Amino acid sequence: MSVELGTFLRSRRERLTPADAGLPVTGRRRTPGLRREELALLAGISATWLTYLEQGRAVRPSDQVLDALARALRLSGAEREHLRRLAGGAETPDSDVPEEVAPEVAGVPALLGDNPAYVTGICYDVLAHNAAAEELFQGMAPGGNVVRWMFTEPAAREVLVDWEREARTILARLRAIAGRNPEHPRVTRLVAELTEASSEVRAWWPRYEIRFSQAGHKRLRHPRLGVVTVPHASFHVAERPEQTLVVYDLRAAVDGGA
């Protein structure tokens, strides 16, 4: 996890300009963003300590250091949370076997009737879904993967009216998952597969954008209702927090325009 922490810190340092940080700009720079010494000065830590963190050495920064780095790097709320999770140590990778979902959880989507619902695993494998989800998310075969569908299935660009925004969002969520589980075999394989298959993934993945699941609205092209704006929400399974129930409320759908 320390290696991933270093990668994240470097990516955020390189995107922040001296002007953004309120520092004077002097001459031409060979590398983008802040120099390591400048970030250390802004955060009030030693350049040596920052070097250790960026090199992925086995050191554990305090909460005060993390807060100082987050302020200096102007991290968003999601990025601050990701920084803390990375600094907290590696999670134990699951074995390379198919994920299982409890029968009680797998049965929940069917209870939601005409509202599309599905349960996903640690890297967005679809573990359970209802008929409404199958109707809406065309081409997402039972046992498929939401991120793979997003980037490799042409139907995704039809169903999701704002495809690029939604694709960047889900890739940013996968980036956060990969950061917390750098040795998880299924996550690693999925990232490699997507990188090979999609030019968008190859362009966006190095930007290290971070998002977490949250409620909101999406514009969808429904096969029967046409273009509608639909509220959605995600719920983590109590016993298996890496599994998530996603529900789209078609009862509250409104005309989404052309």
207-251 pLDDT, tens digit per residue, is 999 888 788 999 999 999 999 999 999 999 987 888 999 999 999
Domains and CATH numbers, the chain: 2-87 (1.10.260.40), 103-255 (3.30.450.180)
How far apart CA 243 and CA 181 sit, in angstroms, is: 14
Q: 222, 196 in Cβ contact below 8 A?
A: no
Give 32: exposed, middle or buried? Use CB within 10 Å, 0-12, 13-18, 19+: exposed
Calculate the average pLDDT of the chain.
Answer: 87
pLDDT level of residue 257 (50, 70, 90 thresholds): low
Share of the chain above pLDDT 70, in %: 93
Q: What is the 3-state secondary structure (H, E, C) of 99-129?
A: CCCCHHHHCHHHHCCCCCEEEECCCCEEEEE
pTM: 0.74
**6-20, 80-94, 95-109, 116-130: lowest mean pLDDT where?**
80-94
Q: Both ends of the chain: CA-CA distance in Å?
A: 45
Overall residue count recorded for the chain in this entry: 258
Residue 24 reports pLDDT greater than 80 = no
- Residue predicted with more confidence, 97 or 92: 97
Residue 90 reports pLDDT greater than 50 = no
Give 111: exposed, middle or buried? Use CB within 10 Å, 0-12, 13-18, 19+: exposed
Give 96: exposed, middle or buried? Use CB within 10 Å, 0-12, 13-18, 19+: exposed
- Rounded mean pLDDT, 171-195: 90
**81-90, 97-106, 137-146: lowest mean pLDDT where?**
81-90
- Rounded mean pLDDT, 167-176: 94
Q: 87, 20 in Cβ contact below 8 A?
A: no
Q: Coil, strand or helix: which one is 219?
A: strand
- Residue predicted with more confidence, 95 or 233: 233
Residue 89 reports pLDDT greater than 60 = no
Q: 249, 232 in Cβ contact below 8 A?
A: yes
DSSP, residue by residue, 16-58? --TTTTTPPP-S--SSSS--HHHHHHHHTS-HHHHHHHHTT-S
